[in-house]
Amino acid sequence: MSSASDFLREYLTVLILGGVGAALVGLLLGASHLLRPARRQPGKSLTYESGVDPVGTGWTQSQIRYYVFALLFVMFDVEAVFIFPWATRLEAYGGFGLVEMGIFVFILLLGLVYAWRKGVLKWV
Amino acid sequence: MFATSLVQTLTFAIAAMICVTGALGVVALRNPVHNALSLVATLFGVAVLFIAQEAYFLAAIQVIVYAGAIVVLFLFVIMLLGVDRAESFAAERHPLGLAVGGILGGGVMVLAAVTLFAGVDTATGRRSTVGALAPSDDLNRIGRALFTEYAFAFELTSLLLTIAVLGAVLLSRRASGPPIDLDEFPAEEPDADAEEVEA
Amino acid sequence: MFAIDPLLESVDGSAVLIVLLKVVVAFAALMIAVMAMVWFERKVVARMQNRLGPNVAGPFGILQTLADGVKLFFKEDLLPREADRPVFRLAPYLSLVPAFLVFVVVPLGGDFSNDRHGVVSWFGKETLVQVADPHIGILFVLAMSSMAVYGVMLAGWSSGSKYPLLGSVRAAAQMISYEAALGLSLLAVLLNSGSLSTNEIVSGQSGWNWNLWATGVVPFIVFFIAATAELNRPPFDLVEAEQELVGGFHTEYSSLRFALFFLAEFMNTITMSAVIVTLFLGGPNGPSFGPGWLQAILPTVWFLAKLLVFLFVFVWLRGTLPRLRYDQLMDLGWKLLIPLALGWFLLLAAFKIGQDEGWNRAVVGVVGTVVILLGALLISMAVGTARARRAAVEVEA
């Protein structure tokens, strides 16, 4: 199998399935739009707030803690990405690779431990 | 080697269109969340371009790290700032903004054109790579470069990431004491509605 | 001029037919599986709670999902006043499409014994019993599960309502936290297979050489817990915690749009179970016997049997465990699963390199374990002193 037709088969198939899925969802929503009743009343478009009228707008600030977790996630995501090429070809890099990766992981764990020590990981 | 077949040409055209439309959306749309979504579209387009160049690993990384992590981080920041503040962006137009933006944008276009036609990357001085890599082997190529030639840079990356976390932890804390701990909903000025109810 | 397109040269009628057939069959199978799963979950959980569960629509209530679907189809669709309309409409797509794209890379059958790599022959063409086998197979799963965050986050944000916003930010934070653990526990599997392709991963587990024990169970447990959290399934269903968030990110969704989120959730449960089976339980690998036709379908039967085990366990967890608190959830993810997955991975890697380089196994084992225990001790000491210091400051104040 040549790499060109490989590309065609594997990734285009994925694309086709994604397209079929999205189209089907659209079709369903369209059909439902034609068939279902639509009687708009102002009360219906109020947002849910445990039975009372909503206060203020629904869009507010979230906490900064989420930001720290998102950044930690970026850190570990990038770490995993760097480890992928190593994990699949372990034998090619031998003991030197192991030491390299050990240092890499150690430094990153320092970041996690720092956040942990500062109590940022603790959800109050 | 430029794209030679119909399918490759089509793939390139569609992906490039997604990229450019997304990029325009990032600049032109008013709502920060819409901007972030446009950015995701651009990143997806770039991932498709990587696939067309048979750099499959890079394509996956593009989606996992950039679309899946970095833009999510952006979204968290947008939520942190509160989206309704976005409306004030329109008022902050500087009279020179358009001119400076135009010059910079034009400069980048010229640079890109030069790179394309000279076949040499102006930034690095190396030949720019156009066309596919050795089939489907980018994973091992990247690995080999990363763990042998660029081992030191690789270790520095971990330091960089750790420093980023350090900064985030420091930012989220007061000078001393426990981390900043707002309630789930920070205190808002009482709304018109609320006052009516009280009255 | 397009007739000599080099990409299309090797493509003939039967190849196109196979691709179309795969797409249609995968799609239909997934839809039926989702409907069956909804029924299965309701029925099993009902039995665990001493109830009958759906029993009116069709025999054993098996058509209940269809009835619910039809009902939701004809319901009025409400748009909240404050909603961001384009994003509100886009979010269900972002939730659903990644959910069934993951299914693409799962090998559903084919003979993997004796180095046959699951190749089967359909219409005189050699092909695999999976929709597509991209080189990056397993990274594709990760990519799609990171896309699923957008569906949740944007659905909550675009509603312009408080409960959904809270639910979605929480959900997104939960999903990204466990995605890190998911990615790191995956690495151990790659040590054994040496490839990212799902087909290769399953081939590497032929015979009874399943990754479940080849990687020493720990990565499997971490992956399973992380997957449960990633799916927002009980006991990690804080995302829609009815008692506090009234349903979480999809509170403001009604009618068919709500049904789509519901569908995506169950679809994710099925695909994630399939991914676990592929990664750790040898996919369609299993004993083969009997006449030719039986041998042809047995791998698929094994696959489905393993899948069913996980689907049942997911329902079982829901029927058994109480929901975690948010701080417990974050603690589990960041302070236990991630360090554990990383440490175990490095230990396995050290063993494997030791094998290649001819180091003494016992020495590698002892040194590795000592290093990891020392690391754990240092971490706990560092955290302990910091906590004590903070406590002292608080007492003074």
Cβ–Cβ < 8 Å for C155, C91 = yes
- Asked if B140 is an interface residue toward chain A (Cβ–Cβ < 8 A), one would say yes
Other beta carbons within 10 angstroms of residue C163's beta carbon come to 23
The DSSP letter of residue B180 is: P
Alpha carbons A65 and A62: distance in angstroms, whole number: 9
Q: Is B179 helix (H, G, I), strand (E, B) or coil?
A: strand
Q: Is C5 helix (H, G, I), strand (E, B) or coil?
A: coil
The two structure tokens encoding residue C378: 């240092």
Q: Minimal Cα distance from B154: which residue of A?
A: A104
Say whether pLDDT at C334 is over 60.
Answer: yes
In this prediction, residue A1 carries a pLDDT of 37
- Asked if A41 is an interface residue toward chain C (Cβ–Cβ < 8 A), one would say no
The two structure tokens encoding residue C136: 């990056």
What CATH number has the domain bearing residue A96? 1.20.58.1610
- Class at the top of the CATH hierarchy for domain B1-86: mainly alpha
Alpha carbons C43 and C47: distance in angstroms, whole number: 6
C residues 358-397 closer than 8 Å to A (CB): 375, 379, 382-383, 386-387, 390
Alpha carbons C358 and C349: distance in angstroms, whole number: 14
| Tens of pLDDT, residues B19-43 | 999 999 998 888 888 999 999 999 9
Residue C158 burial (CB < 10 Å; 0-12/13-18/19+)?
A: buried
A114 and A69 within one domain: yes
What single letter denotes the amino acid at residue C371? V
Chosen for mutation from C125, C197, C383, C385 (greatest number of chain A CBs closer than 10 Å) is: C383
What single letter denotes the amino acid at residue C83? A
Query: Which chain A positions have a beta carbon within 8 Å of B178's beta carbon?
Result: 119, 124
The two structure tokens encoding residue C341: 């997955």
CA dihedral of residues C252, C254, C259, C262 (deg, nearest 10): 20
As for the ipTM of the complex, it is: 0.87
In this prediction, residue C242 carries a pLDDT of 65
Chosen for mutation from A3, A15, A60, A79 (greatest number of chain B CBs closer than 10 Å) is: A60
Say whether pLDDT at C66 is over 60.
Answer: yes
Other beta carbons within 10 angstroms of residue C214's beta carbon come to 20
Give B100 to chain A, closest Cα distance, Å.
32
Give B101 to chain A, closest Cα distance, Å.
30
Residues A117, C356: C-beta atoms closer than 8 Å: no
Alpha carbons B119 and B129: distance in angstroms, whole number: 8
Alpha carbons C95 and B101: distance in angstroms, whole number: 36
In this prediction, residue B4 carries a pLDDT of 56
pLDDT profile of chain A (124 residues), mean per 10: 54 81 87 84 77 69 80 89 87 84 88 82 71
The two structure tokens encoding residue B1: 């080697």
Q: Residue B133: what are its φ and ψ, rounded to 5°? A: -80, 180
C residues 33-72 closer than 8 Å to A (CB): none
Chosen for mutation from C222, C240, C334 (greatest number of chain A CBs closer than 10 Å) is: C334
Alpha carbons C31 and C183: distance in angstroms, whole number: 27
Query: Which chain C positions have a beta carbon within 8 Å of A22's beta carbon?
Result: 93, 97
Query: Which chain A positions have a beta carbon within 8 Å of C133's beta carbon?
Result: 10
Say whether pLDDT at C131 is over 60.
Answer: yes
**Closest by alpha carbon to B26, among B13, B45, B10, B11?**
B45
Alpha carbons A57 and C110: distance in angstroms, whole number: 55
Alpha carbons C177 and C12: distance in angstroms, whole number: 46
**Closest by alpha carbon to C105, among C282, C278, C265?**
C278
| Tens of pLDDT, residues C231-261 | 888 888 877 766 666 677 888 888 888 888 8
A residues 56-115 closer than 8 Å to C (CB): 57-60, 62, 66, 69-70, 72-73, 76-77, 79-80, 83-84, 87-91, 94-95, 97-98, 101-102, 105-106, 109, 112-113
pTM: 0.86
Q: Minimal Cα distance from C355: which residue of A?
A: A91
Q: Work out the angle at residue B192's Cα, subtended by the Cα atoms of residues C82 and B78, and round it to the nearest 5 degrees.
A: 45
Residues A55, B194: C-beta atoms closer than 8 Å: yes
Strand-pair partners of C128: C119
In this prediction, residue C255 carries a pLDDT of 83
Residues B157, A61: C-beta atoms closer than 8 Å: no
A65 and A32 within one domain: no
DSSP strand E in B3-153: where? none
Q: Domain limits of chain C?
A: 78-342
- Asked if A89 is an interface residue toward chain B (Cβ–Cβ < 8 A), one would say yes
User: At how many degrees (to 10) do helices B71-81 and A65-88 cross?
Assistant: 180
- Asked if A51 is an interface residue toward chain C (Cβ–Cβ < 8 A), one would say no
Lowest mean pLDDT across A79-83, B180-184, C127-131, C315-319 = B180-184
Q: Minimal Cα distance from A17: which residue of C?
A: C23
Which of B5, B56, B76 is the closest to C5 by Cβ? B5
**Closest by alpha carbon to C146, among A73, B54, A62?**
A73
Say whether pLDDT at C75 is over 90.
Answer: no
In this prediction, residue A29 carries a pLDDT of 87
**Closest by alpha carbon to A20, among C16, C87, C20?**
C20
In this prediction, residue C159 carries a pLDDT of 83
H/E segment holding residue A21: helix A3-35
Letter string b/e over residues B135-165, b meaning 16 or more CB atoms within 10 A of that residue's CB? ebbbbeebbbebbeeebeebeebbeebbebb
Within 8 A by CB and 6+ apart from C237, the residues are C323
**Closest by alpha carbon to C70, among C263, C252, C261, C255?**
C255
Q: Work out the angle at residue C178's Cα, subtended by the Cα atoms of residues C175 and A97, and round it to the nearest 5 degrees.
A: 135
The DSSP letter of residue C122 is: E
What is the distance, to the nearest Å, from the Cα of residue C48 to the centroid of all Cα atoms in its chain? 24
Q: Residue A123: what are its φ and ψ, rounded to 5°? A: -95, 110
Strand-pair partners of C121: C126
Question: Residue B16 — very low, low, confident or very high, per pLDDT cuts 50/70/90?
Answer: very high
Q: How long, in residues, is chain B?
A: 199
Chosen for mutation from B53, B147, B149 (greatest number of chain A CBs closer than 10 Å) is: B147
The DSSP letter of residue C205 is: T
Per cent of chain A over pLDDT 90 is 0
C residues 111-140 closer than 8 Å to A (CB): 131-135, 139-140
Cis check: omega of the bond before C235, within 30 degrees of 0: yes
Sign (positive or negative) of CA dihedral B16, A25, C151, A45:
positive
In this prediction, residue B107 carries a pLDDT of 92
Residue C144 burial (CB < 10 Å; 0-12/13-18/19+)?
A: buried
H/E segment holding residue B160: helix B151-171
A123 and A69 within one domain: yes
| Tens of pLDDT, residues B61-113 | 999 999 888 999 998 888 887 765 545 555 566 778 888 888 998 998 888 88
Domain extent for A5: 1-36
In this prediction, residue B43 carries a pLDDT of 93
Within 8 A by CB and 6+ apart from C200, the residues are C117, C137, C193, C194
Q: Is C282 helix (H, G, I), strand (E, B) or coil?
A: coil
Cβ–Cβ < 8 Å for A61, B84 = no
Residues A59, B61: C-beta atoms closer than 8 Å: no
Residue A56 within any structural domain of the chain: no
Q: Where are the alpha helices (DSSP H) in chain C?
A: 13-48, 64-73, 85-101, 137-158, 162-193, 198-203, 211-214, 218-230, 242-245, 255-280, 292-320, 326-330, 338-357, 361-396
| Tens of pLDDT, residues A6-38 | 555 677 778 878 888 888 888 988 888 888 888
Residue A85 within any structural domain of the chain: yes
Residue C317 burial (CB < 10 Å; 0-12/13-18/19+)?
A: middle
Those chains having 3 or more beta-carbon pairs within 8 angstroms of chain C are A, B
Cβ–Cβ < 8 Å for A85, B133 = no
Residues C154, B8: C-beta atoms closer than 8 Å: no
Maximum alpha-carbon separation in chain A: 70
Within 8 A by CB and 6+ apart from A22, the residues are C93, C97
- Asked if C250 is an interface residue toward chain A (Cβ–Cβ < 8 A), one would say no
Say whether pLDDT at B184 is over 60.
Answer: no
The two structure tokens encoding residue C86: 């384009």
A111 and A65 within one domain: yes
Q: Domain limits of chain B?
A: 1-86, 98-134, 137-179
Query: Which chain A positions have a beta carbon within 8 Å of B162's beta carbon?
Result: 75, 107-108, 110-111, 114
